[in-house]
Amino acid sequence: MPFTPRTPRVVAARRLHRRRDREATGRFLAEGPQAVREALHRPGTVTELFGTPAALDRYADLAARAAGADLPVSEVTDEALAALAETVAPQGLVAVCRHLDVPLDDALERGPRLVAVLAGIRDPGNAGTVLRTADAAGAGAVVFAGDAVDPYNGKCVRASAGSLFHVDVVRAADPVAVVDGLRAAGLTVLATTGYGDDDLDDLTDAGRLAAPTAWLFGSEAHGLPGELTAAADARVRVPLHGQAESLNLAAAAAVCLYASARAQR
């Protein structure tokens, strides 16, 4: 019989919608076939897979991969799936995953040439989008610093479109210590701010983006805290050619990260 919303394992997994329970268990939920596939590609990440009979049939390759890794694969009713999922059209699959974050030093030991630091970004959709963009631009690590959103928040996981499982995710309480660590590892630390002294195009023209670089991004509402912009090697503004007062966070991050990717080719 498929599990129902009252089956204890479903009840336990469902609690992972709350940050407190994610922190206590070191687990989070990934929903939908794309996220489940990416999670299964990373050995040791998935601990359990739930699916409706229809979804386990439709995505039989994923069910087989999970079973082949000796993971419990459980049929659930549509009601149980709806309880486990946060979206209206969850496509029938939800995986319980282990937290993935690594200490900053471990991430830096792998010598990333591009790093994105999300400093105090509270919006999970924005954070997940920047994580996805950083992955696309070739970043090796993404640091959630200060009081940034929990990277395992369901909306962040979904916005990352699988990239949460591709890059080294770091969580660090003290963003200034992160800047020190990045610089000690040989990375140039660039703070993005609308009022920066350096124009992104000028930095590019001067060849300063070719070096290994860490970009600091702040929240759209509050920007970067002053201590972080001061701690960076340079304060960079994306040029505004029209009348817009600013770019939104996802767009600014895309322009900066891709400027680095191009300069580093």
Cα separation of 138 and 239, whole Å?
Answer: 23
Contact string (CB under 8 A) for a second copy, positions 1-40, x = contact: ---------------------------------x------
Strand 93-98: give its sheet, edge to edge. Answer: 27-31, 93-98, 46-51, 73-75
CB of 131 to a second copy, least distance (A): 9
- Contact between 254 and a second copy (CB under 8 A)? yes
Contact string (CB under 8 A) for a second copy, positions 145-164, x = contact: --------------x-xxx-
Residues 122, 147 contacting (CB under 8 angstroms): yes
**Nearest Cα to Cα of residue 253 among 145, 117, 66:** 117
Number of other CB atoms surrounding residue 4 within 10 Å: 13
Q: Which amino acid is at 140?
A: G
- Contact between 221 and a second copy (CB under 8 A)? no
- Contact between 261 and a second copy (CB under 8 A)? yes
Task: State the DSSP code for 249.
Answer: H
Work out which of 80, 139, 149, 187 binds a second copy, going by CB under 8 A. Answer: 139
Of 85 and 134, CB closest to a second copy: 134
Cα separation of 260 and 253, whole Å?
Answer: 11
- Contact between 214 and a second copy (CB under 8 A)? no
Work out which of 56, 167, 187, 236 binds a second copy, going by CB under 8 A. Answer: 167
Work out which of 57, 147, 201, 202 binds a second copy, going by CB under 8 A. Answer: 201
**Nearest Cα to Cα of residue 176 among 129, 127, 220, 120:** 120
Tokens of 246: 């600013």
Of 137 and 178, CB closest to a second copy: 137
- Contact between 123 and a second copy (CB under 8 A)? no
Angle among Cα 160, 166, 168 to the nearest 5 degrees reads 100
- Contact between 248 and a second copy (CB under 8 A)? yes
Exposed e or buried b per residue across 202-212, where buried means at least 16 C-beta atoms within 10 angstroms of its C-beta = ebeeeebbeeb
Region near a second copy per CB under 8 A, out of 13-21, 77-85, 101-109, 232-240: 232-240
Cα separation of 258 and 70, whole Å?
Answer: 40
CB of 130 to a second copy, least distance (A): 9
Q: Using CB under 8 A, list all residues that contact a second copy.
A: 34, 129, 132-139, 159, 161-163, 166-167, 201, 204, 238-248, 250-255, 258, 261-262, 265
